[in-house]
Amino acid sequence: MSSILSGVSRSLLPRVRCTVLQWRLASGATPHATSSSSEKPAEFYDIIIAGGGMVGTTLACSLGKNPRLADRRILLLEAATGFKQPSTETYSNRVSAISKGTHRLMKAIGAWEQIEATRVKPVLKMQVWDACSDALITFNYDDLADNISWIVENDVLLASVYRQLEGVKNVDIRYGARMEGCGLIRDGAEMSTVRLSNGEQLQCELLVGADGYNSLVRRTMGVDNFTLAYDQMGVVATLKLGGAAANNVTAWQRFLPTGPVALLPLNDEMSSLVWSTSISEAKRLLHLDDHSFVAALNEALTKSYPRNNVIEEVLKNVNSFITSTTGQRLEQPPLVEAVVEKSRAAFPLGLGHTSTYVGHGVCLIGDAAHRVHPLAGQGVNLGFGDVQCLTDVLADANYSGLGLNNLAQLVKYEQERLRHNVPVILTTHGLQRLYTTDFPPIVGLRSIGLTITNSLPPVKKFLMNYAMS
């Protein structure tokens, strides 16, 4: 286990490559250059954001609304032909567990009020338990007086941010803008450039890659990118729960030997499913009829796995002491009654991290820089943390007259985010490896660790605050 983590750690540590450090520091770039007198002059923007997903769109809004960047022109490039409004009648099958840090960001840009007016469900408690031992840990604040997260459909969040962008005068959005190539500030170039599939050329002082884990911007940077396929897929669906789910404010996650299965509350009677399992099993689950799928899901949430007698005796003694002091016992999740028609889908799972987030006149955010397993609900929150940090760094740099493509300033963003992102990525990867086995000694050690951690409120509070910051 330690060898796996140390190998990943070495690949994730920041190392700004010599080629990046040798890029020429350009200053005062002006939008005059064209490749030839017969071509249309390339349009200039101070900042171009490649990728109009949740993270890229939120960055555009955050930058555009920052008073220290009001004099800068910002362009958001979105490959889709237009923005699709979320359904008011049915829930989307892709949701995110929004952290307190993301909640603050959404409030700061004015999007949270719109999210609340559409659909959002607060989570007051989370129970995580091991199917091989029933060892558990619960997360909640005292007397359920505070949310630990909010469940928001991705479409709802994106629509709310787009609504805010409508009133931001210094931000332009181009739909159907598929990026075919880009050039960076190096080898004597004065500005970063973007080439669209329609042949149009754009220039900018700073190019931000928010274009996902297959990022063209990252590939153009030429930096190392550590990737690891988990040979798993995440099955998602929208579920209707049994009557016992009234006042549904709990998120449930059970670690099976094949991967975790989680129920995230949408309202008092519905939840969103995220079920990580093998690729072959995921494909099988997608092809089951609705009734068989519900039966398989309820079995996954309740099935008893073979137990090792020695481990059971040790855990019995540990649990006897722990439960006498905490009073916490395993609660059973609500049974699933039905799956919403056509809500099932699946996506591949993997880990990814680039060796550097920045270069002269270019930087990466969100999945373009890092990718994690969804078991801890941290993927999009890491991206929103990038947004807040990059906004602060660029606003300070612009206010100080240092420019937007100053490598020394961009490295501040990289260093701050690495301090947060790398521990989260390593921890998530370690949990994924630790819980995808039913080998008895591993089951015993992880179960004892989980039980003891659950009995230490200060430790649990630290873990909650760090993950949700």
Query: Which CATH number fits the domain that encloses residue 412?
Result: 3.50.50.60
Residue at 35 is within a domain: no
pLDDT on residue 24: 32
Structural domain of 322: 43-468
Residue at 56 is within a domain: yes
274-292, pLDDT tens digit by residue? 999 999 999 999 999 999 9
Predicted confidence (pLDDT) at residue 322 exceeds the cutoff of 70: no
pLDDT on residue 320: 73
15-29, 279-293, 354-368, 391-405: lowest mean pLDDT where?
A: 15-29
Over residues 78-91, the mean pLDDT reads 86
Predicted confidence (pLDDT) at residue 15 exceeds the cutoff of 50: no
106-131, pLDDT tens digit by residue? 999 999 999 999 999 999 999 999 99
Predicted confidence (pLDDT) at residue 38 exceeds the cutoff of 60: no
- DSSP structure class, residue 95: E
Over residues 299-303, the mean pLDDT reads 94
Predicted confidence (pLDDT) at residue 19 exceeds the cutoff of 50: no
**How does residue 384 score in pLDDT terms, banded at 50, 70 and 90?**
very high
Count Cα neighbours of 55 within 13 Å in the Cβ-side half-sphere: 28
Tell me how far apart the alpha carbons of residues 336 and 338 are, in angstroms, rounded to a whole number.
Answer: 6
* Residue 440: count of CB within 10 angstroms of its CB: 16
pLDDT on residue 324: 53
Tokens of 357: 């987030």
In 3-state terms, what secondary structure has residue 452? Answer: helix
pLDDT on residue 246: 54
Residue at 8 is within a domain: no
Tell me how far apart the alpha carbons of residues 312 and 425 are, in angstroms, rounded to a whole number.
Answer: 31
Residue at 365 is within a domain: yes
pLDDT on residue 454: 87
20-29, 105-114, 165-174, 349-358: lowest mean pLDDT where?
A: 20-29
26-30, 158-162, 416-420, 457-461: lowest mean pLDDT where?
A: 26-30
**How does residue 32 score in pLDDT terms, banded at 50, 70 and 90?**
very low
Domain count of the chain? Answer: 1
Q: Which residues contact 83 (CB under 8 A, 6 or more apart)?
A: 158, 159, 162, 175
Tokens of 4: 């796996």
Whether the full predicted model's pTM is greater than 0.75, yes or no, is yes
Residue at 6 is within a domain: no
Predicted confidence (pLDDT) at residue 178 exceeds the cutoff of 90: yes
Residue at 435 is within a domain: yes
* Residue 295: count of CB within 10 angstroms of its CB: 13
Tell me how far apart the alpha carbons of residues 465 and 469 are, in angstroms, rounded to a whole number.
Answer: 6
Residue at 7 is within a domain: no
Residue at 18 is within a domain: no
Exposed / middle / buried, residue 82 (Cβ in 10 Å: 0-12, 13-18, 19+): exposed
What phi and psi, each to the nearest 5 degrees, are found at residue 456?
-115, 85
Instruction: Give the DSSP per-residue string, 372-419.
Output: --GGGS-HHHHHHHHHHHHHHHHHHHHHTT--SS-HHHHHHHHHHHHH
Residues found in the chain: 469
Higher pLDDT, 54 or 41: 54
